[in-house]
Amino acid sequence: MEQAGGGRARVDHFSDFLTALTADAVVKCAIGLDMRNVARLSRGEPPHAFIPAFRFGLKYAAGGATSSDLPAAVRYNPLVSNARSLSEKYEDAKRT
């Protein structure tokens, strides 16, 4: 792989990179906050907490969230309602 300027570059996890790039641009323009997601991903760090919360919120709102989006300790606990846990996770995502 050649470095930028050499004519070629490889972007792993394109979906994550595109999400980070878009979120950084939109949030910077909207409220002046630079979340530095592109820089975080390039250093191998996790993105700003907004990114996973936003992705889950969209998935939940579209009806695509399932019990697999919950930790195993919650998902396999017979005393815990998966539907309620998903709803609570969605409410937490909205507060992020």
Task: Report the predicted TM-score, pTM, of the whole model to 2 decimal places.
Answer: 0.68
> How many domains are there within the chain?
2
Mind listing the pLDDT tens digit of every residue in the chain (96 residues)? Answer: 445 556 565 656 678 888 889 999 999 999 999 999 989 988 889 999 988 898 899 899 999 999 999 999 999 999 999 999 999 999 999 887
- Per the structure, the complete domain to which residue 56 belongs is given by 49-96
Residues 54, 44: Cα–Cα separation, whole Å: 20
How far apart, in whole angstroms, are the C-alpha atoms of residue 24 and residue 94?
18
For residues 34 and 5, membership in a common domain is answered with: yes
CB count within 10 Å of CB 54 equals 17
pLDDT of residue 1: 44
35 and 55 in a single domain? The answer is no
pLDDT of residue 2: 44
